Amino acid sequence: MSNPKIKITNTEVLANNWYTLRKITFDYQKKDNTWETQVREAYDRGNGATILLYNKTNQTVILTRQFRMPTYLNGNETGMMIEACAGLLDQDNPEDCIKRETEEETGYHVKDVRKIFEVYMSPGSVTEIVHFFVGEYTKDMKVNDGGGVADEQENIEVLEFPFNKAYDMMATGEIKDAKTIMLLQYAKINSILQ
């Protein structure tokens, strides 16, 4: 942290259960060179990775469905979300993470993945950077049923959709997850299933 216009004066941990929520007090130098004190909260849940698994021959993609409490609290009647496979890096590098998460969540053992970009998903309140990948899958890469890791309380349903159906599900509101929308749009714009 080397921005001379920012001086952090106090950091207080508000919660440290699932992840860490901090209240940060800092001085910020404005355009007119005056300083003002600001207070913000930042949620640190670590960085993550996500992948769009696609099959060129069949023109299909693998997605997942699982319960997401924050969406349930904010109007999603069932709390269920259709998403691209994703997970936290923990101690792994992004590529190793997404390969591990792909096998745990979807049951596919992929060897070749390609990073396409990385994004701050909610920079106003969350520190997380998500690394985005794409990777091809074939039926012979299926090594288990997927579904997630039981001791992490994951109950993940593996879904396979024709790409065009998945793409249309954004317009119908069946897919509302930002990372999944970004990956589907990337696939369409870059014709990766062509």
| Domain residue extents for the chain | 6-44, 48-189
The residue type found at 176 is K
| Cα gap 118→35, rounded to integer Å | 32
Give me the percent of the chain exceeding a pLDDT of 70. Answer: 100
pTM for the structure as a whole: 0.93
The pLDDT score that the predictor gives to residue 150 is 75
| Cα gap 176→173, rounded to integer Å | 6
Domain 48-189 -> CATH class = alpha beta
DSSP track, 76-145 = -SS-EEEE-EEEE-TTS-HHHHHHHHHHHHH-B-----EEEEEEESSTTTB--EEEEEEEE--GGGB-S-
CA angle, residues 183, 85, 46, in degrees to nearest 5 = 95
Over residues 162-194, the pLDDT tens digits come to: 999 999 999 999 999 999 999 999 999 999 998
Phi, psi dihedral angles at 62 (to 5 degrees): -105, 125
The pLDDT score that the predictor gives to residue 35 is 98
The pLDDT score that the predictor gives to residue 18 is 82
Nearest to 15 by CA among 44, 53, 38, 51: 44
Over residues 64-93, the pLDDT tens digits come to: 999 999 999 999 999 999 999 999 998 889
Nearest to 118 by CA among 49, 175, 170: 49
- Mean pLDDT within 47-60: 97
